[in-house]
Each structure stands twice: as C-alpha cells, then as structure tokens.
Amino acid sequence: MFAETAWHDSPTGAALAHHHISAEGKPRGILLICHGLAEHSKRYAPFAKAMAARGYHVYAHDHRGHGETKAVDAPIGRFARRDGVSCVIEDVVAMHDHAAARHPSLPVILFGHSMGGLVSLNAAVAFPGKFDAVAVWNANFNPGLAGRLAQLILRTERMLKGSDVPSAILPKLTFRTWARSVQNRRTAFDWLSGDPQQVDRYIADPLCGFDVSVSLWLDLFEMTFRAPQTSALERLRKDLPIHLVGGGKDPATEQGKATIWLANHLKRHGFLRITTEIYPDMRHETLNEIGADVAISSFADWCDRAIVQS
C-alpha cells in the first residue's frame, strides 16, 4: 500500500526510512505520522491511504532504533547513545522540513500513537512554530508515582548493567501487566487490539515486539514528564488544535483515564481547541481495532476543521 521505502538524511546522522502517499485531488494539508514503541511506520499504510483519499499528503517514518531507519548510535531498541529525546525530536523536524519543502504553503498536522504521541507533543513544544495541529492518540502523560518509581528502577539498572541492554524489569511492569488485564486472552499481545487478525499480524512481524533498552525506556519517561510541564506548554499558542484519542479498554492508558487527564490538564493551561474522543470498546491500537474506520473518519473531519480555522 505504501510505495517503496525512501530515505532522508537527518541532521542527527540518521538515515530515516520513510513512506509517502500523495493526496488525492486538491491537497488540503500534510500529515506526519509518528509510530509507537517496538513497531514501525509500514503498519500505518491503511491509515495513510484513508487520509490521502481525504486530500492529505502523508509521510510516516521509522524512529531511531525502529524499523529500517539506520543510525550508528541507534541499533534496534535504542534512540541514541546520548541525548535520545533530542535526536528523535530533531528527526521529526527533519521529516517536517522535507515534506514542507515538497509541498510548500500547506498546513502540517503532526500525529502520534502511543510512544509516537509522546514524541509528537514533545516535538510540538520544542518547535512550536512548525506544526499547525497536533494529534496524540493512546499516550499516557500521567504515570504518576509509578512513573517516578520506574525511572528509579531504570537508573538502578543503568548503574548495575549499563544503558544499552534490555530492561529486565520494565516489560514486567508494562507489557506483561497489561497483558494480564485482558480476560480470556489468547496471546500476550491481546491488550493491543480486540481484533485477533491484527494481533496475529503484530506477532508475526519481525520488526515488532523487540526488546527495548534501558536508555530508551528512560527517554520515554523523560518525554512523559517533560511535555506537560507549564514551562513547556507555555511555548504553544493557546488556539493550537489538539486531538486526543483513548480507548476505554486500553490498559496502557488506564482505560482512557490518562487521555482524559491530558485533556483537562491542557484546558487548565488555557488551551482552547481540545478535542477528546474515548472509544469505549477499543484497546491500545485504535488504528488496528474493530471500528477503526469510524475513528479515522472522525479524525479526518477534525483535520479538515483544524486547517480551515488555523
């Protein structure tokens, strides 16, 4: 569904593997996709095709340590040897500049799922003039004390065995805990989606489900706590359109409670154009759920409104 993989050189030194689908008809805007943890951009081809049919040029790239992207300091499971958060954000900006140069004067919407949602909001606050609207799906920016404990555990692991090895503890606190929350589960990945075919595709995909390094886990929690800070949010214009989506059966976001928390947090900070949707029967991967077409259509409608009013 995507064309062949293309490559774009980022100033960080990464060769970013990316995929593009051109808008059908008169182009309305550009959609940049940031994928989630332990997956890759090709999984977003159906979403990209649907958005292209609505008039959006779509670009999806593999983050550092994921998919086909190459960087000397970013083997699979690691953002970078150091400054991983800065590197992954700069890569997003590199993709923005690449797409904007190819399609000048079009508004740019930044979309992120899960880890990609963390990346997207952090990129928006770091480079507030780059994006005309931001979408954060299935991301948890409110891990609370459990998140701080996880950081302590990870720092201890880093001290004892280094940062570039898989964490032995975080998968137990996240993926395995989330798996156990699904009743009558068929696989360890049923928490991702209620659609068995989508779960099976994830399990069979050699570019999905790999071990994540201590350093990458630390980078994720740094992004989790950084973007919601007042000093970060103050960099954004208060009328920036922000689209939030959660699943009512998503254990990774406390059944959508983390999405509601972020919406209320942003409103308390004066943001005026927050759109929030919780899909009651969906788990973590909204785009790969039963009923995904409804969520995609709603998102496309929001994109149309966002770019007209921006």
- Assess whether pLDDT exceeds 80 at residue 142: yes
So where are the chain's domains?
A: 17-309
> May I ask the CATH architecture of the domain 17-309?
3-Layer(aba) Sandwich (3.40)
Q: What digits encode the pLDDT tens for the residues 3-48?
A: 789 999 999 999 999 999 999 999 999 999 999 999 999 999 999 9
Q: What digits encode the pLDDT tens for the residues 91-108?
A: 999 999 999 999 999 999
Can you read off the two tokens belonging to residue 173?
């606190």
Q: What digits encode the pLDDT tens for the residues 66-76?
A: 999 999 999 99
Can you read off the two tokens belonging to residue 245?
């989506």
Can you read off the two tokens belonging to residue 283?
């788990």
N residues, the chain: 310
Maximum pairwise Cα distance, the chain = 56
Distance CA 95, CA 112 (A): 14
How large is the average pLDDT for residues 174-181? 96
Can you read off the two tokens belonging to residue 211?
């071990």
Distance CA 215, CA 165 (A): 8
Distance CA 185, CA 194 (A): 10
Residue 260, helix vs strand vs coil: helix
DSSP 8-state class, residue 76:
T
- Give yes or no for a contact between 148 and 173, defined as CB atoms under 8 angstroms apart: no
Residue 193: partners with Cβ closer than 8 Å, 6 or more residues away: 199, 202, 283, 284, 285, 288, 289, 290
Helix, strand counts (H, E) of the chain: 11, 8
